[in-house]
Amino acid sequence: MRHSCDGGASLRYIVRRTPFDRQLPEERAVQEGNRWSETRRTLTELSTIGLFVLALLVALHAAASMVVPMVAAIIVGSVVAHAGDRGQRIGIPPMVAGLALTAVLGVGMFLLIEAIAEPISALVERLPQVLPRLAAAFGDLLAPFTTLQARLTGGNSLPDGGVASLEKMLGSLDLGVVASFLGGLTPAFGEFLIFLATLVFYVAGRAQLRRQSILAFVGREERLAAIRIFNATEASLTHYFGTTSVIYAGVGLATGLIAMAAGLPAPVLWGLFAFAMSFVPFLGPAVVSLAIASGGLLLDYGMLAVLWPVGAFMTVHLICENAVVPAVLGRRFEINPFLVFVSIIFWTWMWGAIGAVLAVPMLLIARTIRSEFKVENRASLPS
């Protein structure tokens, strides 16, 4: 309590409540009511956002045949248009360069799909024949583990226990899921047309679309942030796809040489198949290894002829992914492998095999946008 005297004026008392003063019941009731109201409003907002996200995922899953080629075209179009912008250095208009690159890319993708469609369809057809041979080939390697399991459980170990256990495990494999995944790598003709049309129109109207998207923001800082995000995303995608395409072309060349040395038919197709599947982390190399093993088993060249091409391909792939790619791309594109794996599983469940191909680019886009929102990463702008 404090008092002050102003001439002959009466005393005025200013009462200040200390932290030790007790709140009145009415004040506590009002504060608790406000706190509960804020909590309820927060829960309502979170529930609304959650329902919107679930509805969006259901819509994306239901419209996969239309959404997937359009998303793929926007990602590829960002790379092509960014590369076309560099055509200004030699006097080529960006739109002309972008459309020319789009035409070349469309023809190349059509030829690539036609080339890998035959090995994929052959692999799907040969799976029922290959699995018993895989069980017979690798069953002897599992025999010691089968004997150990029988001793631990107190049962009797059979002479062909390893083959029987492997046949049981492979027999439980759902071939329909495998065939669906492999078949999804070669899109239908309608989806390919949607992809090409979206790619052409996106590259042709990219400049106007960017301008309208940036001008949709009112503030200067928001517009500058939109410009930074557009530029950083296109630069990251271009650098990533340009670098990995060259590296995976080397993997495809090495795979073709391995197939030629192993006596597999059509080594050029094996190289193209390995090049295309290298863009699918984890799952792609596994599919290529299974295809090489099945090709060696069907040729009946012996166990060594089956194992060494698979081992050589896996060695090339491991060196590429763990040494060459990190050394070339650097820490700028370093992404947690756990996030990559989760992204691949999620988008494969959402959109099939093409979703697995798009998982890493979409994760890279999200990481680039997040890094642009960091204050310490923003470049100093003029006032």
Taking only the tens place, the pLDDT of each residue in 269-305 is 889 888 988 888 878 888 888 888 877 777 766 677 7
pLDDT of residue 170: 47
Q: Which has the closest alpha carbon to 312: 248, 268, 267, 251?
A: 251
Q: Which has the closest alpha carbon to 275: 242, 308, 296, 253?
A: 253
pLDDT at 158 over 50: no
pLDDT top residue among 15 and 139: 139
Which tokens belong to 50?
């959650």
Instruction: Quote the CA–CA distance of 356 and 378 in Å, as a whole number.
Output: 32
Question: Per-residue confidence at 179, pLDDT binned at 50, 70, 90?
Answer: low
pLDDT of residue 265: 80
Average pLDDT over residues 178-184: 55
Instruction: Quote the CA–CA distance of 326 and 313 in Å, as a whole number.
Output: 19
List, as one string, the DSSP characters of 258-280. HHHHHT-S-HHHHHHHHHHHTTS
pLDDT at 165 over 80: no
Which tokens belong to 17?
């409540």
Dihedral angle over CA of 257, 295, 310, 326, nearest 10: 60
Length of the chain: 383
The per-residue pLDDT of the chain, averaged, comes to 75
Instruction: Quote the CA–CA distance of 179 and 174 in Å, as a whole number.
Output: 9
pLDDT top residue among 45 and 134: 45
Say which residue the tokens 């107190």 belong to.
154
Per-residue pLDDT of 46-76, as tens digits, reads: 899 999 999 999 998 888 888 988 999 899 8
Provide the percentage of residues in the chain whose pLDDT is more than 90.
Answer: 8
List, as one string, the DSSP characters of 330-346. GGGG---HHHHHHHHHH
Which tokens belong to 239?
């650098």
pLDDT at 215 over 60: yes
Question: Who contacts 212 (Cβ-Cβ below 8 Å, separation ≥6)?
Answer: none
pLDDT at 98 over 60: yes
Instruction: Quote the CA–CA distance of 339 and 281 in Å, as a whole number.
Output: 12
Within 10 angstroms of residue 364's Cβ, the number of other Cβ atoms is 21
3-state secondary structure of 281: coil
Average pLDDT over residues 90-111: 77
Instruction: Quote the CA–CA distance of 359 and 124 in Å, as a whole number.
Output: 24
Which tokens belong to 29?
């009731």
pLDDT of residue 143: 57
Instruction: Quote the CA–CA distance of 227 and 272 in Å, as a whole number.
Output: 37
Instruction: Quote the CA–CA distance of 41 and 52 in Å, as a whole number.
Output: 17
pLDDT of residue 41: 85
pLDDT at 246 over 50: yes
pTM: 0.69
Provide the percentage of residues in the chain whose pLDDT is more than 70.
Answer: 66
Question: Per-residue confidence at 8, pLDDT binned at 50, 70, 90?
Answer: very low
pLDDT of residue 93: 75
pLDDT top residue among 112 and 203: 203
Question: Per-residue confidence at 162, pLDDT binned at 50, 70, 90?
Answer: very low
- Least confident among 105-114, 133-142, 234-243, 298-307: 133-142
